[in-house]
Structure 1
Amino acid sequence: MVAGEFEGEINALHAEICAGLADPKRILILYELHDQPRTVTELVQALGIPQPAVSRHLKTLRERGMVIAARQGPSVLYSLGDERLIQALDLLRAVLRENLSRRADLVGQMG
């Protein structure tokens, strides 16, 4: 694979990950899994999201390698596929906070 093809592949994977983060509930699930692995039932209780929706979101995250499912007895435990996802989300949040602050400053200057 030549460098350009590799970059194309990376860009496609990047877009796929970003699509996986497109729903705020999936971001909440990732943050909840940061503390410890959880079952679907635990995620439902912690987040107040209906079970079918949690399962659907976990499927999306699992397909993108963002979460891992491991059977433990009768239950399936979900955990982060890579802890660095949380670091990336935190960095993005910092950028977004700065952008919001700049916007608020601009609005304040205009008003």
Structure 2
Amino acid sequence: MEALPSEALAQVAQYFQVLSEPTRLHILNLLRSQERSVGELAQLCGFSSANVSRHLSLLTQHGFVVRESRGNSAFYRIADESVYALCDLVCGNIARQFERTAQERAAFVATRR
């Protein structure tokens, strides 16, 4: 991100803002293995089809997913799988933070015995 103009930084921030909603992350995770219809995603997420459709619309608008109509149904699939590398990187970082915190707490408990 070195020396990016303000407009580019705003686009990067918008990209991360789309990923900042847990429901959208859940949808992306469900699409990791296969394409799915709105109804199927709604059922698996436990949300209404209207709610899932709103999230899918935003994900489509920002290029995370691709929509394909088949008959009366719309199916969604991942447009760019690099989003998973980013999510895996973040999850690994969070896991390492949890491990450090657990080790610090364990050391504290050990000194009290």
TM score, norm. by length of structure 2: 0.83
Residue matched to 1:104: 102
4+ residue segments displaced more than 3 Å: none
Residue matched to 1:17: 15
CA distance in 2, matches of 1:11, 1:84: 19
Larger radius of gyration: 2
Out of 36, 39, 44, the residue aligned to residue 37 of structure 2 is 39
| Residues 1:82 and 2:94 aligned together | no
What's the offset of the Cα at 1:73? 2.0
CA distance in 1, matches of 2:61, 2:100: 36
| Structure with greater proportional helix content | 1
Alignment coverage as a number of residue pairs: 107
CA distance in 2, matches of 1:15, 1:59: 19
CA distance in 1, matches of 2:106, 2:12: 36
Q: Which amino acid aligns with 1:93?
A: C
What's the offset of the Cα at 1:66? 1.0
Residue matched to 2:27: 29
What's the offset of the Cα at 1:39? 0.9
CA distance in 1, matches of 2:79, 2:44: 20
